[in-house]
Amino acid sequence: MKKNIHPQYYPHCQVTCACGNTFTTGSTLKQIKVDICSACHPFFTGQMKYVDTMGRVEKFQASQRAAKARKYVKKSKHPVDDGSKTPRTLKEMIEQEKTKAKNAK
């Protein structure tokens, strides 16, 4: 094993959560500060609580309300037929030219 390439390991790293819970673990850092832990996470506590650190839930809910407020208009894949005889496909163009040639004779 090579020497002086591995980080320092701290077997008694103190982890501190935003809720105030602290526990000890091993890490390459002396101290770790986290936003959420098993003492306050809804999965472990069973309480319905939004886990949101930067307003992401409110931002998502606002975008959902805005999307519902907008009226969705489905766009057609084909342009609206306005009655003109302009060909849309190559096949229609060829047929139109054949018809013009027959009428010219």
- H or E stretch at 10: strand 10-17
Residue closest to 19 by CA, chosen among 42, 48, 46: 42
Distance, C-alpha 46 to centroid of its chain: 27
Q: Is 37 annotated as a binding residue?
A: yes
Per the annotation, does 19 bind a ligand?
Answer: yes
Question: Binding site annotation covers 17?
Answer: yes
Could you tell me which residues are annotated as the binding site? 17, 19, 37, 40
Could you tell me which residues are annotated as the binding site for Zn(2+)? 17, 19, 37, 40
